[in-house]
Amino acid sequence: MTHHTNTNDPYFIDFPGRIKEIQAEMGTRNIDLYLGSRLRTLSWTADAFCPWRSFVVIPAEGLPTVFTFVIDAARVADDSWLGEDNVMGFAPMGGQDQIEQISEFILENLKNGRGRIGVESGMSNYLPEGWLTHYEYSQFQAALSGCELVNAHTIIDKLALIKDEGTINRFREASRIVDVGHQAVFEAIRDGGYKKMTETEIAGIAALAMRRAGSEWEWSFTGGNEIASGYRTGFAGGACTPASRRALQAGEPLMVDIHAMFKLGLGDHSHNYLMAPVTDRQWWHANNFVDIVTKTLETYRADMTPSLIAEKMMGFAEERGFADYMVPGFEHGIGMAGDEWRIGLNDGPFPYWTNPDHVYRENELLICAMQYACPEEGIGFRYENPIIIHSDHCEPLSKFPLGVDEIK
């Protein structure tokens, strides 16, 4: 695959360089070997989607080795920059279960079978994060009795924070694909096309268009493409709406939040509609929403923090009289598949939540995310778009025009 070998390929990422950076950081922390288990770590080091329980073992020097469920190991080896000698499959067979196979491999890679092993332990709101479980930790500790297991996930978190050009280009392409999906939905629902359509059908129309444009899957664990119509757009504080079988109806809002994946880069963009006839009150809500999104996008830049953004935006909403409808959060983290939750490092007042005083730096990537919800009126809107932080502005990657469109 040229994006693994051709440095001129727009999607090229220097994976051997990443591994060397990890190994250098391991050296400064006296860690002899790193045992990664998070989905984000596997994506970031192996450049392969690992949906089954998987681990990556990074020795102090040399190439990493991925361990995954045997049924998927050959495919992972084919997708990854690592060859088949560095992707092992585990299975419920003597000597081949994940604990024994990985433990023996680790012992062979440590001097005298002893050393400090970095592991990934923590918590997340994102279910498929892949932290080492208590059972796995206990089993590895028993099998590696001469070793000390230490929590070291911040090595990866720190190195993965600022995105390189290849990663950003993968996100750009995923966002372009998402825009294709939005256009397909718009074409399908316009001029009365939405009548008798359900939320699941809208999700499927977007999925087909995005797959045709090259998306690998609708990656979000929140149900793939999230679609909400009518009262479902306005759940209090709600920002998770897997598509239901609810039929779209005249006079109601429609929220389309779709996801595409391109080489583990993630597209995530929401667009909102009002089905005619639209009341003045609905337009008032819609205009509030568009105005605050516009203002937020104008505000993001390096040196801002999540709390500063929230303070400014909630101040604006208060001035305009719609603060009651705003969820007071304006972003979530994003990175290669599996990295979808906290912004920045684990250094805030609440462990494993975004640090409100995290200072954005150039080439950080995040999802600008806003939820406007008025449950009592059954109306709400969502905005999500990957943005790149630049020194004096932010760059939204999805280009589908911002607005709340009326559908006749």
Partner 1 sequence: MTRTYPYLSQQWRDEAEKRLSTELPPERMNFVTSSMSNIYRNCPPDGSEKYLFFQFVDGKFVEIQVGTGQPPKAEFSISGDYQTFAKITRGELGAQKALMTMKLKLKGNMVKALKLASLADRLNKVLATIPTEY
- Assess 96 for contact with partner 1 (CB under 8 A): yes
228 is an interface residue for partner 1 by CB under 8 A = no
Question: Do residues 13 and 47 make contact, with C-beta atoms less than 8 angstroms apart?
Answer: yes
- 148 is a contact residue toward partner 1 (CB under 8 A): no
Q: How far is the CB of 118 from partner 1 (least distance, A)?
A: 24
- Contact present, 151 and 119 (Cβ < 8 Å): yes
- Coil/strand/helix, residue 351: coil
142 vs 208, beta carbon nearer partner 1: 142
With contacts defined by CB under 8 A, how many residues of the chain interact with partner 1?
18
Q: Are 87 and 65 in contact (CB under 8 A)?
A: yes
Positions 32 through 71 that interact with partner 1 (CB under 8 A): 70
Query: Per-residue contact track with partner 1, 100 to 139, x per CB under 8 A?
Result: -x--x-----------------------------------
Bridge partners of residue 403, in order along the sequence: none
Task: Name the DSSP letter for residue 217.
Answer: -
Give the nearer residue to partner 1 in terms of CB position, either 95 or 349.
95
Stretch that binds partner 1, among 91-99, 189-197, 240-248, 325-333 (CB under 8 A): 91-99
Q: In what order do the strands lie in the sheet with 379-389?
A: 331-333, 365-374, 379-389, 394-396
**Which of 354, 313, 349 minimizes the C-alpha distance to 334?**
354
Window 328-357: residues binding partner 1 (CB under 8 A): none
Check residue 74 for interaction with partner 1 (CB under 8 A): yes
- List the structure tokens of 359: 């200072």
- Give yes or no for residue 73 binding partner 1 (CB under 8 A): yes
User: Is residue 142 near partner 1 by the rule CB under 8 A?
Assistant: no
User: For residues 88 and 197, which CB has a smaller minimum distance to partner 1 in the complex?
Assistant: 88
- Whole-number Å distance between alpha carbons of 165 and 182: 26
Cβ contacts of residue 311 below 8 Å, gap of 6+? none
Nearer to partner 1, 92 or 401 (CB): 92
Q: How far is the CB of 107 from partner 1 (least distance, A)?
A: 12
The 3-state DSSP class for residue 288 equals helix
Of the pair 89, 344, the CB lying nearest partner 1 is at: 89
Residue nearer to partner 1 on the CB measure, 68 or 225: 68
Nearer to partner 1 (CB atom), residue 76 or residue 334:
76
For the record, the structure tokens of 364 come out as 């950080």
Shortest Å distance, C-beta 65 to partner 1: 10
DSSP for 118-179?
EE-----SSGGG-PPPHHHHHHHHHHTTTEEEEE-THHHHHHHSB--HHHHHHHHHHHHHHH
Closest approach of partner 1 to the CB of residue 104, in Å: 7
Pairing mode of beta strands 331-333, 365-374: antiparallel
Task: In angstroms, give the least distance from the CB of 194 to partner 1.
Answer: 48
Q: Is 381 exposed, middle or buried (0-12, 13-18, 19+ CB in 10 A)?
A: buried
Name the minimum Å distance from CB 101 to partner 1: 8
- Element holding 208 (H helix, E strand): helix 199-212
Closest distance between partner 1 and the C-beta of residue 110, in Å?
Answer: 17
Nearer to partner 1, 68 or 346 (CB): 68
Cα–Cα distance, 394 to 362 (Å, whole number): 9
Please choose, out of 73-81, 158-166, 248-256, 400-408, the segment that lies near partner 1 by the rule CB under 8 A.
73-81
Instruction: Pick the piece of the chain touching partner 1 (CB under 8 A) from 48-56, 84-92, 166-174, 328-336.
Output: 84-92
- Minimum Å distance from CB 84 to partner 1? 6
- Taking the least distance from each CB to partner 1, the nearer of 78 and 357 is 78
* Residue 244 burial class via C-beta count within 10 angstroms: exposed 0-12, middle 13-18, buried 19 and up: middle
Binding site for partner 1 (CB under 8 A): 70, 73-74, 77, 84-85, 87-96, 101, 104
